[in-house]
Amino acid sequence: MIPQPVLNEWYPVAMTALVGPWPGRQTQLLGSDINVFFEGDAIVVRGAAGDLAVCLAYGHVWACPGTPAHKLFPIPEADQPGRRLVDCGVVRVKCSPLRAVENFLDIAHFPFVHTDVLGAEPHTEVGRYEVQIREDSDEVWATKVHFYQPQAAKSAAGGIVTEYMYRVAAPTAAVLYKTCPNNPDEWDVIGIFVQPLTEELCKVWPWMALFDDTTPQADLIQFQQMIFLQDRSILENQIPRLLPLDPGKEIPTQADMTSIAYRRWLKRKGLTYGAQMVAA
Ligand SMILES: [Fe+2]
């Protein structure tokens, strides 16, 4: 039985550009089979029990299997002139969708998993940063995150201290804002939209809104794919497979503050699909 709060959220189910006429994309959402297809000029998401609520945003089709509790979260940068929007394809990962989001929020793994790209020894320390659950938008934010990166982006020429902000905008969607090598007044925006196929299997759709007119599209996509394939090998070996929502289960460190807030937020909202609850 899937909890109602889980059913009332929005989930990515396809890249809009790849949807065709019936049967369209055959995929899964929360363990149920769905088809994502064009009917006339509308996109329909159909499951065994009928059509799901649909919205289109950020290059993707989003569906809600229940009654939407709210609109899909905003990413104002998606409409900002001069930004280049990049759909980065999909990586299928044998892990809990919540673990995929949590890994995206974690900085401490950069030097060890994305060695010489997003991090490098001896620069392994994660300094103090701030984490809040923002009540107005009902989102988790981490700000003032600083980290040394040998190659922060495809367009970065050499090592820089990158500043980050992380935002959990939906249970399986997170957005990160990072120093823009080409434009110091702006942030590069990278989202990951995670489609929960089952509690232990997901598709991760990275998406970017960048100020970068020069890097070829194929290189941008290949860079993100390389990063997410490095993450996949870690994610598929995490034990336990479901995300524990009891904070006592894994030992937190200063670097884990975002993850602790994310777990607390999920638990409070009853968003437990892909989570391991505390034994009574
Ligand atoms: Fe990573």
Does residue 40 have a pLDDT over 60? yes
- In this predicted structure, what is the pLDDT of residue 177? 96
- Dihedral of the alpha carbons of 186, 132, 98, 125, in degrees to the nearest 10: 70
Q: Per-residue pLDDT tens for 108-151?
A: 899 899 998 888 888 888 888 999 999 999 999 999 999 888 88
Strand partners, 12: 62
Which of the pair, 69 or 182, is modelled with greater confidence? 69
CA–CA separation, 18 and 33 (whole Å): 18
Does residue 104 have a pLDDT over 80? yes
CA 227 to chain CA centroid, Å, is: 13
pTM of the model: 0.94
Average pLDDT in the 237-261 region?
A: 83
Rounded percentage of the chain residues whose pLDDT exceeds 70: 97
DSSP label of 153: S
SS (HEC) of 210-277: ECCCCCCHHHHHHHHHHHHHHHHHHHCCCCCCCEECCCCCCCCCHHHHHHHHHHHHHHHHCCCCCEEC
- In this predicted structure, what is the pLDDT of residue 158? 79
Q: Per-residue pLDDT tens for 196-233?
A: 999 999 999 999 999 988 999 999 999 999 999 999 99
**268 pLDDT tier (thresholds 50, 70, 90):** very high
Average pLDDT in the 235-262 region?
A: 84
Q: Per-residue pLDDT tens for 143-160?
A: 999 988 888 777 777 788
- In this predicted structure, what is the pLDDT of residue 280? 45
Strand partners, 244: 276
Ligand 1 center from residue 108 Cα (angstroms): 9
**251 pLDDT tier (thresholds 50, 70, 90):** low
CA–CA separation, 7 and 233 (whole Å): 29
Ligand 1 center from residue 114 Cα (angstroms): 7
Ligand 1 center from residue 37 Cα (angstroms): 32
Ligand 1 center from residue 90 Cα (angstroms): 15
Ligand 1 center from residue 161 Cα (angstroms): 17
- In this predicted structure, what is the pLDDT of residue 248? 66
Ligand 1 center from residue 99 Cα (angstroms): 12
Ligand 1 center from residue 111 Cα (angstroms): 9
Q: Per-residue pLDDT tens for 67-86?
A: 999 999 999 999 999 999 99
**Can the peptide bond before residue 216 be classed as cis, meaning omega within 30 degrees of 0?**
no
Ligand 1 center from residue 85 Cα (angstroms): 21
